[in-house]
Structure 1
Amino acid sequence: MSATKSNSNKLLLEEFKNGNQKAFRKLFDLFWEPMFVKAKAIVMDNGIAKDIVQDIWVSLWQKREDLEIRNFEAYVYKSVNYGCFKYLRDNKFSAAQLQVIESLELISKSNVENQHNLDQTQFVIEKSLTGLPPRCQQIFRLSRMEAISNEEIASRLGISKRSVENQMSIALKSIRENLTLTQSSLTSLIIFATLL
């Protein structure tokens, strides 16, 4: 971002904090679409992405006088991440899915950092599943999210217990690989950020 654009955004932010609706509208026009694109990429649903972004803007206006924002762009993008992860946590994952995460030994003591990690992990698991064949997804969800035994799944689907086990192995391998890839990407990003 150029210094001129950065200074312009700082001035808009100051005016917005003072209740200037035109400044708020200008910030909205600058950032709404990229925020929406980011949210849509995460939740993969236009309506939900619009709702998440709209809630962020409503909250920004309501809390404008109390907000301590140094970098508006970073703040709104972080808000999009949080809003999407919160949506996915509240609407996509059941208690059974949380057990899957526990079985992968990814949950430790409850604190803010771990909650953030849990949200990211849940997101990676769901994304991993959507990349698998439909039958593999179905078997994984029946086993880990509905706690149905391999024998019962095999009986329901008219396949062998061995086929169920193979499909579960494929699903778990995909999840582990995506979690490892995400972790290494985050580590690289942190190292890169410290070098700046």
Structure 2
Amino acid sequence: MSVTEPKTNKLLLTEFKKGNKKAFRKLFELFWEPMFINAKSIVLDEDIAKDIVQDIWLNLWQKRENWDIKNFEAYIFRSVSYGCFKYLRDNKLKTTHLQVIDSLELLSESNVENQHNLDQTRFIIEKSLTELPPRCQQIFRLSRMEAASNEEIAQRLGISKRSVENQMSIALKSIRQNLRVAQSSLTSLFILILLL
């Protein structure tokens, strides 16, 4: 579950990249605690977890103008995992650390591929939505992301149920078409690679 709304994140990240210290502080306040909890669960030491998270934020600030992060939340949590594992690699492991490492479920290649496919599908859906008129986007999000019924959406927006159904049909058609195009491009790329 996302810590903040995507639009808020995007605005904060834009301002942060420009060097806005208030935006940096707000991002820090939003994400520091979950990052710290994650790090502490891996290294089993509060001080070390704090140091790892602090280093990540320091690095983010120093390199803010040069990075091109697509998904900030995923990036920082990957950074936490990487920082923790780097610490564990470089320091003598305690028995408790070895038990934690043994208990971690490592992603198999198929799980990584499935996650990549899921991320790609989400990206295509989001891209498809941005190509739609605002009202159509709003109706789709209410229906699919807030699980509102067509009747609830119609009442909320002051339009007919039929209008909601038409807008949903347009949104789904656009998404399906973009998914087909992406699949077709992927298949063509795969065939091209095989022929090389």
In the superposition, the TM-score normalised over structure 1's length comes to 0.52
Q: Deviations over 1:46-94 (max 9, x none)?
A: 000000001111111111111111111011011111111111111125x
Structure 2 vs 1, CA of residues 128 and 76 (structure 1 numbering), >3 Å: closer, same or farther?
A: closer
Whole-angstrom CA distance in 2 between matches of 1:36 and 1:26: 16
Is the Cα–Cα contact under 8 Å of residues 42 and 97 in structure 2 kept in the other structure? no
**Alignment of structure 1 residues 15-34 onto 2, 5 Å:** 15-34=15-34
Is the Cα–Cα contact under 8 Å of residues 43 and 97 in structure 2 kept in the other structure? no
Structure 2 vs 1, CA of residues 129 and 50 (structure 1 numbering), >3 Å: closer, same or farther?
A: closer
SS of residue in 2 equivalent to 1:32: helix
CA shift at 1:7, angstroms?
1.6
Whole-angstrom CA distance in 1 between matches of 2:65 and 2:81: 23
Whole-angstrom CA distance in 2 between matches of 1:128 and 1:18: 39
Q: Alignment partner for residue 186 of structure 1, among 108, 129, 140?
A: 108
Q: Give the aligned CA root-mean-square deviation in angstroms.
A: 2.8
Equivalent residue number for residue 43 of structure 2 = 43
Equivalent residue number for residue 103 of structure 1 = none
In the superposition, the TM-score normalised over structure 2's length comes to 0.52
CA shift at 1:8, angstroms?
1.1
Equivalent residue number for residue 73 of structure 1 = 73
CA shift at 1:182, angstroms?
3.6
Whole-angstrom CA distance in 2 between matches of 1:90 and 1:20: 34
Equivalent residue number for residue 53 of structure 1 = 53
The percent of aligned pairs where both chains have the same amino acid is 62
Q: Runs of 4 or more off by more than 6 Å in structure 1?
A: none
Whole-angstrom CA distance in 2 between matches of 1:194 and 1:38: 22
Structure 2 residue 41 is the aligned partner of structure 1 residue 13: no
Q: Deviations over 1:136-180 (max 9, x none)?
A: xxxxxxxxxxxxxxxxxxxxxxxxxxxxxxxxxxxxxxx9xx49x
For 2:112, give the aligned amino acid: I
For 2:114, give the aligned amino acid: F
Whole-angstrom CA distance in 2 between matches of 1:128 and 1:35: 18
Whole-angstrom CA distance in 1 between matches of 2:36 and 2:97: 23
CA shift at 1:189, angstroms?
2.7
Structure 2 vs 1, CA of residues 129 and 65 (structure 1 numbering), >3 Å: closer, same or farther?
A: closer
Structure 2 vs 1, CA of residues 75 and 45 (structure 1 numbering), >3 Å: closer, same or farther?
A: same
Any stretches of 5+ residues in structure 1 without a counterpart?
Answer: 94-124, 132-174
For 1:63, give the aligned amino acid: K
